[in-house]
Amino acid sequence: MVDLPEEAKKPRTSVELFAGGGGLAMAVHQAGFRPLLFNEFNNRACETLIASARKTLGVDGLERTEEKNPKPPRPGQPAPLYPGDVRDLDLSAFEGKVDVLAGGPPCQPFSAGGVAKGDEDKRNMFPAMFKAVREMRPKAVICENVRGLLRPSFEEYFQYIQNELRLPFEKRVDRDRWQDHNAHLTDILNQLSDDDSDPDHYRVVMVRVNAANYGVPQVRNRVVIVAFRADLGVDVDAFEKYVTTERFSEDALHRSMRDEDGPYWQRHPDVEDHVRDRVRKHLPKVIKEDDCQPWRTLRDAIQGYGTDVESPALPFVDLERLHEKFDFGREIDVVGHIGWPGARIYKGHTPNELDRPAKTVKAGVHGVPGGESVMRLDERVPDASAPYRYMTVRETARVMTFPDEWHGSGPRGEQMRQLGNAVPVVLGEFFAKAVADALSTAGH
């Protein structure tokens, strides 16, 4: 094995913008990066970051700061948390000291569930990401956002986002239309050679992801954009091939359920025979063969199966006690496993199934369209109607692959909002580790 240079043997570093409840921040930390700075505008989310700092973010506490020209902390010092508008920050002191800049700019401008004004929306924070890149010159950038960016109405603007990230130092003048700036960037990019190594340029990989294909117990379609500084010599083609290789599949899940004593049912021996029969009856007649692992299901998540850190099975939520908002997690010292009354299902608002990955967790509680926060339970006897209820915050956190040590701040609705806006930890960690490996392979 080739020895890495001394620089590469030092702990890698990261800066997290738009940190929210900490999903991507936890992922980057678990991939081996030491956080130098966090930024988050929402006060409740800042409280969550502070409450979870030592256990989930790998820092010796977070220190709120109003300093708009922060400096990187020394090892062992608390990491600064700027609880304000990222556009007010000057990050020049971090130049050359950051391996990865990570963040998910607010998705509402591009989300199908939002107004979808895109570039016209004042919440569009991609320009703030590019400003941070210019000031810090990180080795790599990881950015997650909604699939809404791929909608035909945003196609040209999404290409512009990628072009800006490729050429972040070609700054757009305020009076210029983005279309004119994009034409300017395209002209430059068309003249670059394939072996471009300008340190002001970045090489960009855009990946369409379904989180279920990466081991997350949730169908969550997103876009992940990764950029490497062009002078580092990272093999972006090899990186793209690695991160797009399928590892978990629906067919593998179906194969594990196909037999009445299949691996899935062996993992869940308490499931009644009539429930197994109902699930197996609805499996497709033709199931493809592949080398993938099975998709993780909502039942897997609740039972604590499938993550690197073993979690206990969550206690049963007694339907007879939902009206009490009873704390069912107290007996195993788990926070947020509290029943919630009033769940309803109706046309177009259907519950999650236990033996499928959950639906996409969204930033809401009761009014979320589609029934994403409701779950169907096992029918108690054959041919009976299945009961249903709202998912608890802890169950939702597990679907997002957050560790049980994560404690959301604020009332239930605020905690669910933080979870719905987050990056699943397992998905983020996969990409962060892939970035670290790509940098190491290139000798950095």
Catalytically active residues are 107
Going by the DSSP 8-state scheme, the letter that residue 387 receives in this structure is: P
Round to whole Å and give the CA distance between 153 and 118. Answer: 9
- Segment holding 34, helix H or strand E: strand 33-39
Quote the tokens at residue 271: 């499931």
User: CA separation (Å) from 126 to 103, 153, 164, 362?
Assistant: 10, 17, 9, 21
Closest residue by Cα to residue 304 from 394, 392, 389: 394
Round to whole Å and give the CA distance between 219 and 295. Answer: 10
Round to whole Å and give the CA distance between 147 and 276. Answer: 34
- Give Cβ neighbours of residue 357 (< 8 Å, ≥ 6 apart): 212, 216, 217, 218, 219, 295, 296, 297, 298
Round to whole Å and give the CA distance between 146 and 76. Answer: 35
Round to whole Å and give the CA distance between 424 and 216. Answer: 7
Going by the DSSP 8-state scheme, the letter that residue 65 receives in this structure is: -
Residue type, 208: R
Q: Cβ–Cβ contacts within 10 Å for residue 7, how many?
A: 9
Residue type, 94: F
- Give Cβ neighbours of residue 338 (< 8 Å, ≥ 6 apart): 325, 326, 327, 328, 329, 392, 393, 412
Cα angle 107-389-249, degrees, rounded to a multiple of 5:
55
Going by the DSSP 8-state scheme, the letter that residue 198 receives in this structure is: -
Closest residue by Cα to residue 402 from 300, 311, 299: 311
Residue type, 156: E
Burial of 266 (0-12, 13-18, 19+ CB in 10 A): exposed
